[in-house]
Structure 1
Amino acid sequence: MSAENFERIQSGMPQKDVIALLGEPTETSNVSIAGLSGGMATWRDGGTVISVQFVNDKVQAKQLSRESIKPQAQ
């Protein structure tokens, strides 16, 4: 999972192509309303998180973020 692969994800790309690029997602959620199916898939690798929203199995939106790991208070 890399920023380069994230940049290769394009609006309208089929969900199966995104999975071929990034591998199986860490988390998924799905919903179906009035004939439209949609969902969110999230990939986590260390502090890097890629989230992709799908509508009818096509990319609608994507986001790349980096989580900071905070030390636990003692």
Structure 2
Amino acid sequence: MKNQKLLVAASAAALLLLSACSKVNADNYAKIDAGMTRDEVHSILGSPDDSSGGGIGDLTMTTETWKGSKQTIRISFVGDKVALKALGGKDEK
């Protein structure tokens, strides 16, 4: 029983630490600049939670979304370069 309580407490502490380390925040959003490559953005924010896109001929546009507990970051790429970015709160769609 004592080991079980210790395991639950350790798991809760680990979850709290991981949630506090979210890369989806205003500081990281501010590091993203127009013209950055997708790889540069991924090195700052990690892998996106969602991605959608399309193209016409040789022109492709992709929007990638990172979802944090309090904020969402959306980055639109034309080709492989940042064209647009948006930072929203948890309740924004």
TM-score, L = length of structure 1 = 0.86
Flag structure 2 segments of 5+ consecutive residues without an equivalent.
Answer: 1-22
- Higher Cα radius of gyration: 2
Say which structure is richer in strand.
1
CA RMSD of aligned residues (A): 0.9
Aligned counterpart, 1:47: 70
Q: How does 1:31-70 map to 2 (within 5 A)?
A: 31-68=54-91
TM-score normalised per structure 2: 0.69
Residues 4-58 of structure 1: CA deviation (Å, up to 9, x unaligned) = 1100100000011101100000000121212101100000011210000000110
**What is the letter of the counterpart of residue 86 of structure 2?**
Q
Residue 3 of structure 1 aligns with which residue? 26
Q: Which consecutive unaligned segments of at least 5 residues does structure 1 have?
A: 69-74
Q: Which structure has the highest helix share of the two?
A: 2
Q: Name which structure has the greater RCO, CA cutoff 8 Å, separation 6+.
A: 1
